Structures are given as structure tokens and as C-alpha cells.
Amino acid sequence: MLFNLRILLNNAAFRNGHKFVVRNFRCGQPLQNKVQLKGRDLLTLKNFTGEEIKYMLWLSADLKFRIKQKGECLPLLQGKSLGMIFEKRSTRTRLSTETGFALLGGHPCFLTTQDIHLGVNESLTDTARVLSSMTDAVLARVYKQSDLDTLAKEASIPIINGLSDLYHPIQILADYLTLQEHYGSLKGLTLSWIGDGNNILHSIMMSAAKFGMHLQAATPKGYEPDPSVTKLAEQYAKENGTKLLLTNDPLEAAQGGNVLITDTWISMGQEEEKKKRLQAFQGYQVTMKTAKVAASDWTFLHCLPRKPEEVDDEVFYSPQSLVFPEAENRKWTIMAVMVSLLTDYSPQLQKLKF
């Protein structure tokens, strides 16, 4: 039996005098939660099964419903503190983490390169041990994935990847929650990536097949995804019976796609490559011409900040664009990550039908 979340949310909105857009959730019967993530690190979705990732999305939807829609106070992280290490600037990652952790009753501590310089002023080993003695978890937005791996090895608390050169797992959780809300299910969707073979694409490649989603990715020659990531993604696709297409043709990747996805062409630290990259990515702008070959129910995602050369205004501000719900969902998904890694809380909302 399907659980009609739309009716409950609309009734709650009417009673509380709020106006908001309610997306479609497909929910199954309540099931006893068998997934236990407490104490784990979140460095890459490669380390998580499909059921574990689904659990984090279910928990995200639960927190969003209980806190945003029902107005409940859930101090699940009261008395806990979070170290936030940011080697790179951020809008969504910082705001979603700080406000989300505080909303759950915890205390976030923001640290920039002026406060802490990983592996320079103090070794990574010493930093990990000190942070372990003073905080309950660390979210780190860094240049090198290897720094996160070292922190995780040396720390006795959960380490969470807030972005690295190789992966950006917490962004992909927000993307999947947004698509779950819009489509009602993820299984069978075709994701069309058009852009750089970067950390966002890598995180999609490490997780999409686990939901039964197909992936068609177009990158310019010389900007393909990491070969080791590609090899593992091919294995996942084979195991889950999904399609993985890697091409240099943007229109081929967009053909029949339900979700058109792109990202910045010039990541932080690549500014000196700007001229070369802009030339290499000619023809990769997502436009309505791109959308014409996509599925009739196509939508658009971009993790922001967005530059006009990556996607034109017609697509970016179209009714099919989900970029702003996607941005908001960064908050609910990072809250779910924190709760799942630090507590024994189980979702009260009926389990989502993925």
C-alpha cells in the first residue's frame, strides 16, 4: 500500500498557515531498520551499499518532514560538537552544515586555513588525535582526498568528506533526495552528465547503479573521469544491470536522459587553466537544444555556483530546473549524515520506495 505523504503535508501546511511546494514521495510499509552507520566515516559512497545510501536518504526525508513540515524540535545532537575544516571557500556546504548541526542541538566549530593548516603547522596525525579528543565528528572540505584518508585512519571519531579533489559524496545525496522528491522513485532513471570528469561525476559513478539508475556521461577529450573510478563504475553497472555510457559527445549523453546534470568547468585550484578549459569545453553548454534530445520529463541539476557558459538562463531558470530545491536539500541530507553517524535514531516516516 502506498503512503500518501502529499495529503499529510498539505493538511499540516493548512493547519499551520504555511505555503510550500510538496513533492511526490512513494512510500512503502514501515520496516524495521537494519542499517547501522553509527561511528562510520563518510569519505566516498564507494564504501556504502545501496541500502545504506537509501537509509541516509530516508532519514533525510524524515528529518525534513518532521522539522520543516511538522515544526517539531529534534535536539538529536544536543551536547555534541562538530569540527569543520575548510581549505576551500563554500556557501552551501558551510551553511547547510552549520545551520543543520545547530538546528539539531549541536555546536559546529568553523575552522579556516588561518585557524588550521592541515599537515603544515601540525601533522595530520596530531591534528586527527587532537580533534578526536574535543569534537564528536569532523567535516573537512579539502584539496586532497589523501588528507581525508589520513585523518580517518588516525581519528577515533567519524570523518566526513565535505569535498575533495576526487569525491563530493554529500552533494550527491542532496541530488538523489531532490530526484526522489520529484520523480517518486530513482530506479530506472537515466542521468545525463555533460561536463568535467570531476569529483561530482566520480560520486555519481560510485552510487547511481546501486539505485538501478543508468548513467550517460560526456566529457571533453583529456577531461575524462579517473580510470580507477571508471573501472569500478563498470563493475557496479554490470552487477546491477544498468547502463554506463562514457562519450565525448554531449548530445549522445543527453539522448533520452531524464536528468541533465552539469557542474563548474573550472574548480577551485584550476584558475590558471581557465583559458584552456573554456576552449576545451566549447559545445558543452546545456541549452534547450540539449533538452530536445532528452526524455519528455527531463529535469536539470547543478550543484552551484553556476556560470552562464555551463548552462544558459533558459534552462537554468526553467520549470524543469531543480537547482534551488537541490541546494536546500544539502541541509537535510547533511543533517541525516550527522544523525546516522552519531546517534541510534531511526526514521519515523515510512520507508521511501526507491
The predicted-structure confidence for 313-335, as pLDDT tens digits, reads as follows: 999 999 999 999 999 999 999 99
Q: 326 CB contacts (<8 Å, ≥6 apart)?
A: 174, 175, 178, 301, 302, 303
**Judgement on whether residues 198 and 314 belong to the same structural domain of the protein:** yes
Mean pLDDT across the stretch 141-160? 96
Mean pLDDT across the stretch 344-348? 95
The confidence score (pLDDT) of residue 94 equals 96
- Domain tally, the chain: 2
**Judgement on whether residues 198 and 307 belong to the same structural domain of the protein:** yes
**Judgement on whether residues 127 and 196 belong to the same structural domain of the protein:** no
Range of the domain at 96: 45-168+329-342
- Report pLDDT digits (tens) over 163-202: 999 999 999 999 999 999 999 999 999 999 999 999 999 9
CATH number assigned to the domain comprising residue 290: 3.40.50.1370
Prediction pTM value: 0.89
The confidence score (pLDDT) of residue 119 equals 67
**Adjacency order of strands within the sheet including 159-163:** 107-111, 81-86, 137-141, 159-163
- Report pLDDT digits (tens) over 95-136: 999 999 999 999 999 998 887 777 677 889 999 999 999 999
The answer to whether residue 32 is domain-embedded is no
The answer to whether residue 348 is domain-embedded is no
The answer to whether residue 38 is domain-embedded is no
Tell me what the pLDDT averaged over the chain comes to: 91
Confidence category of residue 30, pLDDT binned at 50, 70, 90: very low
**Judgement on whether residues 96 and 159 belong to the same structural domain of the protein:** yes
**Judgement on whether residues 97 and 242 belong to the same structural domain of the protein:** no
The answer to whether residue 229 is domain-embedded is yes
The answer to whether residue 18 is domain-embedded is no
- What are the residue numbers of the active site? 303
Distance, CA of 96 to CA of 127 (rounded, Å): 24
Q: What is the DSSP letter of 139?
A: E
Question: Does residue 286 surpass a pLDDT of 50?
Answer: yes
Confidence category of residue 23, pLDDT binned at 50, 70, 90: very low
Question: Does residue 12 surpass a pLDDT of 70?
Answer: no
Q: Is the peptide bond before 305 cis (omega within 30 degrees of 0)?
A: yes
Q: Which residue in 197, 203, 206, 204 sits closest to 225, CA to CA? A: 197
What is the grid cell recorded at 43?
Answer: 569519505
Mean pLDDT across the stretch 294-321? 97
**Judgement on whether residues 109 and 225 belong to the same structural domain of the protein:** no
- Report pLDDT digits (tens) over 57-89: 999 999 999 999 999 999 999 999 999 999 988
**Judgement on whether residues 312 and 336 belong to the same structural domain of the protein:** no
The answer to whether residue 221 is domain-embedded is yes
